[in-house]
Chains A and B, each alone.
Chain A
Amino acid sequence: MIILGLETTCDETGIALHDAAAGLLAHRLFSQVKLHAEYGGVVPELASRDHIRRILPLVEQTLAEAELQPCDIDGVAYARGPGLAGALLAGAAVAKGLAWALDRPVLGVHHMEAHLLAPMLEADPPAFPFLALLVSGGHTLLVEVAGVGRYHVLGESLDDAAGEAFDKTAKLLGLPYPGGPALEKLAAVGEPGRWVFPRPMVDRPGLDFSFSGLKTAVVNAVHNTTLDEAARAAIARAFQDAVVDTFAIKVKRALVQTGLKRLVVAGGVGANTVLRERLQAVAGAAGGRAYYPRLAFCTDNGAMIAYAGQQRLSMGEQDVGEVEVRPRWPLGELAAPLANAGLGPV
């Protein structure tokens, strides 16, 4: 069964073709990051307009790369949410239109489910159950994953997402958008220990996160010092150390609490190499290991949507009725794949 996947929740237009037997056939990505860099962030109207312009040419390129025709597609999956409403609608409308024209089933999948299943696209995928840490610009979640659609959210951010804290800290330090890669580079040359920022909520029980206080600490440091190159690098270092420590402590706690050995790290912040090494050590100490999607699949992409759609469409689950998106959609609402359990009624 060949599934076409469309990702349009935010910055990226991602298109992919996934086959149940042969795996990933082809994938294409167009990032609007350069466009948004001028504005220092994601601009929703620009994002949705650009998705509309990009989707069909990218579908054509992806089909050509896989040497397939539109009629070879057996089902269409799109990201229903969470995300920016206009951007989601662009993807959903094209997905439904294609599916109706081809007379194939269509299904809106959960963007975060797709992220946490992304390591399944790799040669050495983790077996269920596992612990998943999802860290991106809009989300910070710790999830116990028993199987596809069987998620128990253990903890989440109570204020800012980790990726948002990275972006805002980068902005305070005068770094370009997106902030994560630039901040990591600057932190690498920063003097450790010149600033020590709080590790938010590690002294409290539970697995929730809070990054607003850390942002405040950065603002105060920036305002209370002469911001030369060494100071900027030392602040970047102190910020990254605090974030990495916080995740290491919470992940260790979650592994102990659940008895799980395998850890999946997904989302854009999962591309941070210091965080990767640290979490690999934490999982190793727990007698397991950490699994990461390749860097291209840490950030938003079409392959993960096609894969998540494959898991559900192949079980007979599909949308019926109107185009509907879910800009806010708690992961905990999902259930295991079920025939005709998609959006309804007609």
Chain B
Amino acid sequence: MQLVDAAATEALGASIAQDCPAFACIHLHGELGAGKTTLVRGFLQAMGHTGAVRSPTYTLIEPYETPAGKFFHLDLYRLSDPEELEFIGLRDWVDAGVLLIEWPEQAAGVVPAADIDVVLRVQGNAREATLTYFPKR
């Protein structure tokens, strides 16, 4: 689907939140500036988060807790070896809430498989989003 601006990307995040299971793993693919964190912002706001949603590029993970549950926003952009995920404590978050993972390909085989896979592509000033839902394993 076509996303004309950041507001449309946030709205897509909010619509994904509508029917998201409590322990889902969401993979977010897309180059720098494609709108991954913007989509997560829309998702978290729909889940009842009212504060800022900061880029986790520097901190690697930003945890959130709302009445709707626990959410872990990860950015694996700076990871060079999947093993490093163990070091930052991945096991503490799996099955603790919803995982929203940017750059999951940086730790392929180590991050949990996607329940929902989102691909964002830059097309001029707009973005093209492709969503794939995987059946419950």
- The interface residues of chain A lying within 8 Å CB-to-CB of B77 are 41
Which A residues between 249 and 267 are near B, CB-CB below 8 angstroms? none
**Which of B12-20, B80-88, B93-101 has 4 or more CB atoms under 8 Å from chain A?**
B80-88
* Closest residue on chain A to residue B32 by CB atoms: A168
Q: Are B55 and A212 in contact (CB under 8 A)?
A: yes
| CB proximity of A143 to chain B, nearest CB, Å | 17
Asked if B11 CB lies within 8 Å of chain A CBs, one says no
Q: Are A219 and B33 in contact (CB under 8 A)?
A: yes
CA separation between A252 and B41, bound complex, in Å?
Answer: 30
Asked if A328 CB lies within 8 Å of chain B CBs, one says yes
Q: Are A43 and B79 in contact (CB under 8 A)?
A: yes
Q: Are B87 and A44 in contact (CB under 8 A)?
A: yes
- The interface residues of chain A lying within 8 Å CB-to-CB of B6 are 213, 216
| CB proximity of A227 to chain B, nearest CB, Å | 13
Counting chain B CB atoms within 10 Å of each CB, the highest count among A137, A159, A164 belongs to A159
Interface residues on B, range: 20 to 34
Q: Are A164 and B33 in contact (CB under 8 A)?
A: no
Q: Are A159 and B52 in contact (CB under 8 A)?
A: yes
* Closest residue on chain B to residue A208 by CB atoms: B52
Q: 1/0 per position for A29-42, CB-CB distance to B under 8 A?
A: 00000000001111
- The interface residues of chain B lying within 8 Å CB-to-CB of A220 are 33, 122, 124-125
Asked if B60 CB lies within 8 Å of chain A CBs, one says yes
Q: Are A218 and B88 in contact (CB under 8 A)?
A: no
Which B residues between 58 and 106 are near A, CB-CB below 8 angstroms? 58-60, 77-81, 83-84, 87-89
Known contacts A41-B77, A159-B54, A224-B124: A85-B34 contact under CB 8 Å: no
Asked if B57 CB lies within 8 Å of chain A CBs, one says yes
Q: Are B55 and A46 in contact (CB under 8 A)?
A: no
- 30 of the cross-chain contacts (CB-CB < 8 Å) are A39-B80, A42-B78, A43-B78, A43-B79, A43-B81, A43-B84, A44-B79, A44-B87, A45-B83, A45-B84, A85-B89, A86-B88, A157-B54, A158-B52, A158-B53, A161-B58, A164-B57, A164-B58, A168-B32, A212-B55, A213-B6, A215-B33, A216-B35, A219-B31, A219-B122, A220-B33, A220-B122, A223-B122, A224-B125, A328-B59
**A: which residues have CB within 8 A of B?**
39-46, 48, 82, 84-86, 137-138, 157-161, 164, 168, 171-172, 212-213, 215-216, 218-220, 223-224, 327-328
**B: which residues have CB within 8 A of A?**
6, 31-35, 37-38, 41, 52-55, 57-60, 77-81, 83-84, 87-89, 122-125
